[in-house]
Amino acid sequence: MNILVTGGNGQLGNSIKKISSDYPQHTFFFTDVPEVDITNLNLLDRLMEEKSVDAIINCAAYTAVDKAESDVALAESINVKGPKNLAEAAKKRGAKLIHVSTDYVFNGTANEPLKEEAQTDPIGVYGRTKLAGEQAVKDSGCDALVIRTAWLYSEFGNNFVKTMLRLGREREQLGVVFDQVGTPTYAPDLAVAIMTLLDKGFTGFDLYHFSNEGVISWYDFTKAIFRLENINITLNPIESCEYPTPAKRPAYSVLNKKKIKAAGVSVPYWEDSLRVCLKELAK
Ligand SMILES: NC(=O)c1ccc[n+]([C@@H]2O[C@H](COP(=O)([O-])OP(=O)(O)OC[C@H]3O[C@@H](n4cnc5c(N)ncnc54)[C@H](OP(=O)(O)O)[C@@H]3O)[C@@H](O)[C@H]2O)c1
């Protein structure tokens, strides 16, 4: 397959780049805003034709959760119009689309791992735009998979793990919220999950949940990062109300991975993947 990867300079885009040599049967075209702005349908159509694209993996998104609260138009354009364009362009060529969404489509009041069919109810602009993006892909009628993921981190770009490592080395004390519970996802694990589903083949529309295995709070995750890196500072569990942010976040957003596992995707345990990432960062 000729595979177009959009948002190729982000965490997930770089993770797909990292594993792409394991898939020599495919040709990958990695792009980001300068080459393909996903909000520009004409450009997309042209590139799809030029490169004879068979499949698109959309890693492009507006991911600044707090900034989205005051930057609604741009978040909507990238997270709704973008996937709508990609789905339209894919449909015209009979290409497949894999689009990535988020656990922030849920309101956080669940108390058991969320299945794909669980009621959505985003509590912020980012989650609302991502949900509308999912719907646009579904409505397009193209062959598409939407994969919701959560708490993405990697050796690439800015993310929670890298921020905690920096703060852990700068500060003597740190407070991290313990009342938001979910599961981190190492982006290269998601990249493998995406390639597994793409290689398996699909028609029509389907929705999957993918994160790493296990359940923790941001506080526990930070404890593990510090333990594995021998960072000895005082880490205090705090409530979300003690760390106010422009966007509200779901208190509980653990995803149920039963469906994606049944489709042949393996789901590594969060701490095993964290160890892999820390090793990569140490290189
Ligand atoms: N990060 C998380 O914790 C998290 C959690 C759940 C779900 N997700 C979802 O997972 C996916 C991948 O996230 P990520 O963390 O890899 O995101 P990321 O690191 O923020 O990367 C997104 C990439 O998309 C690019 N982009 C922005 N607007 C674009 C446009 N109009 N056309 C083309 N490219 C554009 C960005 O470029 P600029 O940097 O120049 O803007 C960036 O390179 C997204 O769908 C996200 O919603 C992420």
Indicate which CATH number applies to the domain containing 55.
3.40.50.720
**188 touches 19 (CB < 8 A):** yes
Kindly give, in sequence order, each residue whose CB lies less than 8 Å from that of residue 230, ignoring residues fewer than 6 positions away.
none
Distance (angstroms) between ligand 1 centre and the Cα of 11 equals: 7
**Rounded-to-integer distance, Cα 256 and Cα 98, Å:** 19
12 located within any domain: yes
Q: What residues act catalytically?
A: 126
106 located within any domain: yes
Q: How many domains does the chain have?
A: 1
Q: Which of 4, 12, 245 to mutate to test the pocket of ligand 1 (most atoms within 8 A of CB)?
A: 12
pLDDT of the residue at 97 = 98
3-class state of residue 229 by DSSP: coil
Three-state SS string over 5-51 comes to: EECCCCHHHHHHHHHHHHCCCCEEEECCCCCCCCCCHHHHHHHHHHC
33 located within any domain: yes
- Residue 39 CB less than 6 A away from ligand 1: yes
CA nearest ligand 1 atom 45, residue: 100
- Residue 127 CB less than 6 A away from ligand 1: no
- Residue 100 CB less than 6 A away from ligand 1: yes
- Residue 192 CB less than 6 A away from ligand 1: no
pLDDT of the residue at 250 = 97
**Rounded-to-integer distance, Cα 65 and Cα 82, Å:** 17
237 located within any domain: no
pTM: 0.97
- Tell me which residue of 1, 4, 9, 18 sits closest to 186, measured CA to CA: 18
Instruction: Give the domain range for residue 112.
Output: 2-158+183-214+254-268
241 located within any domain: no
pLDDT of the residue at 150 = 98
- Residue 60 CB less than 6 A away from ligand 1: yes
- Residue 9 CB less than 6 A away from ligand 1: yes
Longest dimension (CA), the chain: 56
**154 touches 14 (CB < 8 A):** yes
134-162 b/e (C-beta count within 10 Å ≥ 16 → b): bebbbebebbbbbbbbbbbbbbbbebbbb
pLDDT of the residue at 242 = 96
Q: How many CB atoms lie within 10 A of CB 44?
A: 25
242 located within any domain: no
Place of tokens 């998979």: 145
- Tell me which residue of 61, 12, 6 sits closest to 28, measured CA to CA: 6
Distance (angstroms) between ligand 1 centre and the Cα of 202 equals: 24
Q: Which of 32, 44, 65, 209 to mutate to test the pocket of ligand 1 (most atoms within 8 A of CB)?
A: 32
The C-alpha angle with vertex 64 and arms to 62 and 70, in degrees rounded to 5, equals 95
pLDDT of the residue at 83 = 98
231 located within any domain: no
**Segments of the chain scoring below 70 in pLDDT:** none
- Tell me which residue of 195, 55, 60 sits closest to 129, measured CA to CA: 60
- Tell me which residue of 202, 231, 194 sits closest to 7, measured CA to CA: 194
Distance (angstroms) between ligand 1 centre and the Cα of 12 equals: 8
69 located within any domain: yes
Q: Is 17 left (phi over 0), alpha (psi -120 to 50) or beta?
A: alpha
Distance (angstroms) between ligand 1 centre and the Cα of 176 equals: 24
**Rounded-to-integer distance, Cα 57 and Cα 3, Å:** 7
CA nearest ligand 1 atom 19, residue: 10
